[in-house]
Structure 1
Amino acid sequence: MTARDSFVNVWNFYGVRIGSLQLRLLSTSKCARQEAAATAASEPSNSIEQVVRDAKQRFRDTLPKNYLNDEEYALYVRLYGPPLRETDPEDVGIHMHADMGRSEPPVKSQPDNEATLLREVEGRYEEVAYHIPPKEASGEDQSTIQAEETSLESDETRPAALEAQGSLEKPPTYVESVARSQREHDALQKLAQQFEETQKEQREVEAQTMQDEVEVENLQRVEEVSWPAMEETAAEEEEYEHGSARQRYHPLTEAGRFHGTPIEVLLPQEELVQPITDLLRRTHIDHVREAAESVYGGPGLPLSPEMVLRRRSGHMGGVGLLADQHHMTEIEADAFLAGFMPAAYASILATVREVRKRLGSDWIQSKLKNKGEGLSVLDAGAGGAGLLAWEQVLNAEWNLLIDKGEVRGHQPPGRKTVIATSERLRNRLKTFLHDTTFLPRMPDYEHSGEMRGPRLEGGSQQQPRKSYDIIISSHLFLREKESHRRQAILNNLWHLLKKDGGVLIIIEKAHPRGFEAVAHARDTILNQFLLTPSGESRIAPEDFNPTWHREPEPGHVIAPCTNQGTCPMYPEPGKSVGRKDFCHFSQRFVRPSFYNQMLRKKVDNRGEVEFSYVAVQRGVSRQGALPGKEATQLAKKGYEKSEEQPDMQSLPRLILPAIKRKGHVSMDVCTPAGTIERWTVPKSFSKLAYRDARKSRWGDLWALGAKSHTKKEVRSGAPDDGGKRASAEVRQPRTTRVDMDEDGTTETVLHDRKSKGRKRQQDLLAELKRIHAEGDRLLGEEIDAEVIGEDPELGRHRRQ
């Protein structure tokens, strides 16, 4: 017999002994539990107290369902009071030891022809593998090996060896380790099963959510448009079939699109979603959600950028928490990142994409090609969400220039600035906003004097001031109640904007008060800051006062308006009561998982943010723009077969989703003439126009004309005068006339106006009863007087 065979025999012998010992231990534990149960049955008084004490010790202030019988529960309540609630798996530590007892993946065993020896090297031992050459066994050795194998696999030792091997491979679970009785074992086992089912459902939901995000990401990667020229955009095919041939949309229809492809915006994972997810891991998500609901108006976050439809009329205030708030706690800074930035990013991305489409690529590429500072952007209010949205547009233009070989480098040049007042918020934003300047407040150049002169050491040269090519003002105006404060914010933003083509974007929430804040800022810019489209000042030279008026300069409204005059939905400045029609738009986006948790959404990750906005360019006027009425007339005829390309900013814009009927499509548009009209495109007008009209979306520019046009009355409400108009009205008093017949039994009540409400009816009935009672009394007195006059004795008897 070789050394290897001896080692195998010894190993098998001790393996069987070890397995039998473990089986004895397990059987002893099982017998102990059975003996404890039998003892509990034989000693009822002691067992009840012991069961109650064990339940209190195991489950603390909770209790599993139907764990104690009536007698035991009565004793439990008398000793410890009623339990707080039903026991959860987390109360007994199952969530921390869920993986205890699970079998590990099998380790690949060593081949039979290899072995390992330990060799001492400098006081340490190292493993040395060697190869065992094959050896043919003699007849005597073969019989010896067969006899040993037969003895090992006898009826007595084989089951014990198998059970021992099973016990070695599968250690006891957490429930089996901590259970002290069969009752505890059953209760803990149910909680463990409940925890496993919950984890399984959660994994399925997370897998489905991840799959949806991957599908949307793949779809966006496949269909992503890298800001091509208008001719290239028009060449993109859409899924529309007419017979066997695939047809395309009209090029002007494609150029007038408000939404990109796909419609849903996917938030950038590396730049926004993943950094915020990592920051939120430091705090339990329930605490972050409670803080978000505290600062953003309760469940559903009605005071966040995303509008809650069912609460549109009840919450017309601004956003609850902005980046320029002076003091933020740690949890409020997390709540801002989780509850504000996703929806703010989607709305700002929609606006900057529309601005880029209307202005073209030259205004960006011309600054990128110059070896200078590039483009500078200021994010005021969005806490960095505006910067991330702007970078999507900027990087697309930069990649186009790289493909043409006109620029070099990985990152486009430029300055990025964010207003973040709280230090706690700045520390979080610095982790994912790189190469960014953080300002504690907005610079105020309007009230500062010239930075030169004898009092300064800067010399006679004027000191440079900060100015920006793009300023994104997010939800800054609506939070201010007084008009002079809004005017101060607007003046400050206008001073920070560059005079040679700077763009100012103002965004507010999509409700009447938010629209009025945007419309007031637009009306102020047009009437006080800019010249008319003809180049004339809106203020007569004799009325111009440098103290009160500023020198007007060129400029124009980029989007969404196609007219440079008074907004048709804002004919009178100020707050309006009962406003039903207001200009606003929407953008769909894919909600990240942490934002769904803020909204208490488990499965649905489809979000939609509605907003009102206006974009204005300073220092550049529209050259060769047609008058509003003339542009409207040409747009009504349509440019379907026109060889001349129209100015996209002189086309009407859809202010609501199109109404699709059988055979025709109705669209509510805002025309360049400054009117709200309903245009109808039937199938008989043009097949191509009818098809494109059915595929049109809210916010698109329409260039293919219409067959009929009807002016639509705007429901702008009445000016809010604080209730003075209602109190000044003189209400007509109520008059009541009662007619009685000759016999005094019939009454007729006439009113000058109808009564309203139950109280008025009750007052009227009480008045009628009083009149009836008064009539009966007078009639009785007259009868008594007549009787007394005829028979004095009867009258004397009645008086007695």
Structure 2
Amino acid sequence: MLKTKSLQAVCLSCRLSIAISRARSARLPSQAQLVSQKSRTLPTNLSQRRAISTTLSRRQLNQDPASTSEEQPSAPIEQLHIEVNVRNARQRFGDALPRGHLTEAEYKVYERLYGEPIFVETAEELEALPAEEEEFIEEEQEDGSVVLLRRGENGELEEIEVLAEPEDIEEVEGEESDEKSMTLEEWEVHKEKAAQEYHEGVYEQSRLAQEQEEDWEDIDEEDEFMRAHPLTVAGRFRPSPSTVHLPKEGLVDPTALLLTRANHKHLTESTNRIFGGSGLPFSSSTLPARLGSEQKPIPLDPSQADMGNIEADAYMAAVQPGIYASVVSILVEVRRRLGTSWMEHILEKKGGTILDAGSGGVGVLAWHEVLRAEWLRMHEESGSTSHGEVPLGKATVLAGSDTLRHRASRLLDNTTFIPRLPEFVSPEDEENQQQPRKVYDIIIAPHTLWPLRQEHLRKEQVEKYWSLLNPKGGVLILLEKGLPRGFEVVAAAREMLLNKHISSPHSTNVEASLESQVSQPDEETRFIPKETGMIIAPCTNHAACPMYASPGKSHGRKDFCFFSQRYIRPPYLQRILEAKDKNHEDVQYSYIAVQRGRDQRQPEHDLLGRGFSQSADSTDAAFKGHEWKNITPSEVDENSIEADVQTPDDVNPLTFPRMILPALKRRGHIILDVCTPAGTLERWTVPRSFSKQAFRDARKARWGDLWALGAKTRIQRNVRLGKPQDDFDKKGRKMRKAKKVVVELSVGERDGRVVEEGPARILRGDRDGRYTNDRKIRGSGGRKGRKNKVELMDDM
């Protein structure tokens, strides 16, 4: 193999030695033409000569040095002859030198030029060492070609042929053949594979960075826990860490493997076509309101029976990541509000039963992550070293199509798949002990109500979910997109559950259906008692929603209840979105979580055993602040601060207001927009002078947190709810109110009968409700009617 040295010009002594060699053994012109002329074409540059060294053959090592010395010229060029011998010895033996090979004069020159050599006894000892390097000269010809010259046995420069190594030749030929034989389709596949490897590498780096961030966040949270108020920590909404990372082994890798069966270009085009184009506005993602995108539900639903292969792939790639992140956030909040005892009870039942009614299986994966975290916490607190296997319970997933069911089965083990929900069962049938109906401890129903067009269909769907809940503490989670219409769907379901099922102190009975009243005519069955239940989150009240004043759809709504959760996009979603600037996304959602059969407002179900009320009194108490135990900060003794600080053991966080928007941070005060336990929307201001602890925690408060440390001032917040849909037509234009028409009939009595007297009088009313017989002519100053004819001859 060639080993190129640094570029340098040929020195004077070398030129002299070349001239001597040519003079000693000159060739005829005819002989010089017999030398092979083989060259390599390189880029043309200025004529230069540079030294190139390569290995010397064994034949040259074995040649007799005495043969060359006999042919050397004598006295006139003795000094040059010494230099030539020294250089030949250097080229032949390198840093080593056999003893006695050079004369005393030659050795002095050698030491002056190259320094002290490494002595060996004989030249044969150097055969076992690596071969020395031979000097080559690269010379550019007149035609621009470059040739390599080597000094021959007689000292004359001769041209040599240089060939690439066989391995390099095969590699180059392989690359050229690949380039020539690669078609457009193969190039697309190659490009997709390269993009996939790139995004997977970015995702892996993000995952490792996220793990390091989690370690630092754990340390920061421990430090912050020492500084933050205990009630502030108990009221936090976000999960820990705040950014959700999809499980790589449980979700990302299996889904990526399933998506490799489809062409990426085809998958991207189909996904954009199904979910609204760039940015996928009709998927679980929510585009900014400034883009003015249309509000539509997710067009694909797991209950659909006609979902094809490409539709199933698009659903898994574009919808499931956002659903997983939002469901994890909601489950963490539900676990915090229901407490540790609820999760321990679920684990005692070997994980309980769960129904995933609208996410294709990722809701079950999110529930499994929560169970694993709780299982590890329990064993860490008990000090047990052997954790054992986590009880994941029995899962049921709604999947109407075979394509989605086959794909979801790759993600889940020991799971039952059903094509549709069971029919609604009345409370009388639920009490059948001989053949009890299967109920679930957790029902997760994301994005299942909005696709239904009629309101009565949505109510029937919610009735089904409620009937499938375990009446001894089952939890129902309804989730929709964080848009005005999505909020209205969730708010309507909340209103229906409060009116018909969940009992409250101000509403304990509900009017029974006509069928049940007719079937029992002898009993008083008009009103029946409601069931025990409660709203877990996000509401801390059981009154009418202050953001849902008028039922139905409202036009121009600006204020609505929704929350946000950040997650890291998987590589396949990054490629579909063609995202290059960021690999995370903030999914927005509106939700409601309710529990059947338990109500913490009652002492027997309260975590503290005392019960509580959600009313104006609890709102006033929260406004004053729960920082201290019935004393003011000025009366606190420094030695008893820890004992006088209120904790979650003193007050239930469900009596606190919830932040419905991010806090507005000003220089000397913090503004919090909250929804209070009294069912009102207020704006609270926490200045620096109010409390050092409250001001510090208010600066750290996040969207969705429960606020417990009070405020200094409060005002009612103006809500922009828009106008009811009845005031607008299908194109969004405001409809004019119809004029009122009243027909007055003059009636009388004749022979004991009521008869009409005179003609009917018709009154036409304007839009303000005023009635008149005739209309005024604008600008006429009189009544509308025919003017009397004026006879000109009468005036004369």
Which TM-score band (shorter chain)? 0.5 to 0.7
Hey, what does 1:490 align to over in structure 2? 462
Taking a change above 3 Å as real, the CA distance of residues 143 and 265 of structure 1, as seen in their structure-2 partners, is closer
Q: Which of residues 210, 217, 235 in structure 2 aligns to 1:216? A: 210
Q: Which of residues 694, 697, 700 in structure 1 aligns to 2:702? A: 697
User: Normalising to structure 1: TM-score of the pair?
Assistant: 0.64
Task: Check whether the contact 2:355–2:395 (CA below 8 A) recurs between aligned residues.
Answer: yes
CA distance in 1, matches of 2:471, 2:543: 21
CA distance in 2, matches of 1:417, 1:26: 78
Hey, what does 2:252 align to over in structure 1? 273
Partner amino acid, structure 1, of 2:598: V
Taking a change above 3 Å as real, the CA distance of residues 429 and 160 of structure 1, as seen in their structure-2 partners, is farther
Partner amino acid, structure 2, of 1:494: W
Q: Which of residues 478, 491, 498 in structure 2 aligns to 1:506? A: 478
Residue 615 of structure 1: SS of its match in structure 2?
A: strand
Structure 2 unaligned segments of length 5 or more: list them.
1-35, 43-119, 137-149, 183-188, 520-525, 603-610, 630-643, 739-765, 769-774, 781-796
Taking a change above 3 Å as real, the CA distance of residues 155 and 363 of structure 1, as seen in their structure-2 partners, is same
Residue 361 of structure 1: SS of its match in structure 2?
A: helix
Hey, what does 1:398 align to over in structure 2? 375
Matched, 1:659 2:636: no
CA distance in 2, matches of 1:477, 1:383: 16
Hey, what does 1:677 align to over in structure 2? 682
Task: Check whether the contact 1:300–1:600 (CA below 8 A) recurs between aligned residues.
Answer: no
CA distance in 2, matches of 1:667, 1:630: 20
Residue 668 of structure 1: SS of its match in structure 2?
A: strand
Partner amino acid, structure 2, of 1:268: P
Task: Check whether the contact 1:323–1:383 (CA below 8 A) recurs between aligned residues.
Answer: yes
Partner amino acid, structure 1, of 2:490: V
Taking a change above 3 Å as real, the CA distance of residues 201 and 581 of structure 1, as seen in their structure-2 partners, is closer
1:285 Cα deviation after fit: 1.7
Matched, 1:615 2:593: yes
Hey, what does 2:626 align to over in structure 1? 639
Q: Which moved more, 1:279-288 or 1:352-361?
A: 279-288
Matched, 1:588 2:566: yes
Structure 1 unaligned segments of length 5 or more: list them.
1-23, 32-136, 189-194, 226-232, 240-246, 453-459, 739-800
CA distance in 1, matches of 2:721, 2:241: 34
CA distance in 1, matches of 2:249, 2:494: 36
Task: Check whether the contact 1:236–1:248 (CA below 8 A) recurs between aligned residues.
Answer: no
Q: Which of residues 318, 326, 329 in structure 1 aligns to 2:308? A: 329
Hey, what does 1:155 align to over in structure 2? 151
Hey, what does 1:134 align to over in structure 2? none
Taking a change above 3 Å as real, the CA distance of residues 493 and 546 of structure 1, as seen in their structure-2 partners, is farther
Task: Check whether the contact 2:39–2:161 (CA below 8 A) recurs between aligned residues.
Answer: no
1:351 Cα deviation after fit: 0.6
CA distance in 1, matches of 2:164, 2:513: 103
Hey, what does 1:552 align to over in structure 2? 530
Partner amino acid, structure 2, of 1:613: Y
Residues 258-284 of structure 1, C-alpha deviation per residue, up to 9 Å, x if partnerless? 112322111111111111111112222
Task: Check whether the contact 2:358–2:447 (CA below 8 A) recurs between aligned residues.
Answer: yes
Taking a change above 3 Å as real, the CA distance of residues 285 and 173 of structure 1, as seen in their structure-2 partners, is same
Residues 562-607 of structure 1, C-alpha deviation per residue, up to 9 Å, x if partnerless? 1011111112222222211111000011111111122221241020
Residue 568 of structure 1: SS of its match in structure 2?
A: coil
Hey, what does 1:726 align to over in structure 2? 735
CA distance in 2, matches of 1:150, 1:661: 77
Hey, what does 1:238 align to over in structure 2? 224
Matched, 1:376 2:362: no
User: Normalising to structure 2: TM-score of the pair?
Assistant: 0.65
CA distance in 2, matches of 1:614, 1:368: 24
Larger Rg: 2
Q: Which of residues 472, 477, 501 in structure 2 aligns to 1:529? A: 501
Q: Which moved more, 1:393-402 or 1:523-532?
A: 393-402
1:310 Cα deviation after fit: 4.3
Residue 587 of structure 1: SS of its match in structure 2?
A: strand
More helix by share: 1
Report matched runs for 1:128-277 at 5 Å: 155=151, 163-164=162-163, 166=165, 169-171=168-170, 173-174=172-173, 177=176, 207-221=201-215, 223=217, 236-238=222-224, 248-277=227-256
Report matched runs for 1:472-491 at 5 Å: 472-491=444-463
Hey, what does 1:114 align to over in structure 2? none
Task: Check whether the contact 1:638–1:703 (CA below 8 A) recurs between aligned residues.
Answer: yes
Partner amino acid, structure 1, of 2:494: R
Hey, what does 1:606 align to over in structure 2? 584
1:156 Cα deviation after fit: 5.2
Taking a change above 3 Å as real, the CA distance of residues 701 and 327 of structure 1, as seen in their structure-2 partners, is same
CA distance in 2, matches of 1:735, 1:311: 46
Partner amino acid, structure 1, of 2:228: Y
Q: Which of residues 591, 609, 616 in structure 2 aligns to 1:629? A: 616
CA distance in 2, matches of 1:203, 1:620: 50
CA distance in 1, matches of 2:38, 2:170: 11
Residues 396-425 of structure 1, C-alpha deviation per residue, up to 9 Å, x if partnerless? 112233342799631215111111111111
Partner amino acid, structure 2, of 1:220: E
Partner amino acid, structure 2, of 1:692: D
Residue 477 of structure 2: SS of its match in structure 1?
A: strand
Residue 582 of structure 2: SS of its match in structure 1?
A: coil
Taking a change above 3 Å as real, the CA distance of residues 662 and 424 of structure 1, as seen in their structure-2 partners, is same
Residue 588 of structure 1: SS of its match in structure 2?
A: strand
Taking a change above 3 Å as real, the CA distance of residues 445 and 696 of structure 1, as seen in their structure-2 partners, is same
Taking a change above 3 Å as real, the CA distance of residues 627 and 328 of structure 1, as seen in their structure-2 partners, is closer
Residues 638-692 of structure 1, C-alpha deviation per residue, up to 9 Å, x if partnerless? 0112245221011000001111111011111000000000000011111111111
Hey, what does 2:274 align to over in structure 1? 295
Matched, 1:564 2:549: no
Task: Check whether the contact 1:677–1:712 (CA below 8 A) recurs between aligned residues.
Answer: yes
Task: Check whether the contact 1:451–1:462 (CA below 8 A) recurs between aligned residues.
Answer: no
CA distance in 2, matches of 1:542, 1:206: 61
1:431 Cα deviation after fit: 1.1
- Let me know the Cα RMSD of the aligned residues: 4.3
Residue 680 of structure 1: SS of its match in structure 2?
A: strand
Residue 607 of structure 1: SS of its match in structure 2?
A: strand
Task: Check whether the contact 1:530–1:555 (CA below 8 A) recurs between aligned residues.
Answer: yes
CA distance in 2, matches of 1:491, 1:285: 41
Identity of aligned pairs, percent? 40
Task: Check whether the contact 1:289–1:598 (CA below 8 A) recurs between aligned residues.
Answer: yes
Task: Check whether the contact 2:199–2:571 (CA below 8 A) recurs between aligned residues.
Answer: no
Task: Check whether the contact 1:682–1:690 (CA below 8 A) recurs between aligned residues.
Answer: yes
Taking a change above 3 Å as real, the CA distance of residues 426 and 676 of structure 1, as seen in their structure-2 partners, is same
CA distance in 1, matches of 2:160, 2:527: 100
CA distance in 2, matches of 1:470, 1:394: 12
CA distance in 2, matches of 1:474, 1:481: 16
1:483 Cα deviation after fit: 1.1
Task: Check whether the contact 1:533–1:564 (CA below 8 A) recurs between aligned residues.
Answer: no
CA distance in 1, matches of 2:505, 2:462: 22
Task: Check whether the contact 2:657–2:675 (CA below 8 A) recurs between aligned residues.
Answer: yes
Residue 567 of structure 1: SS of its match in structure 2?
A: coil
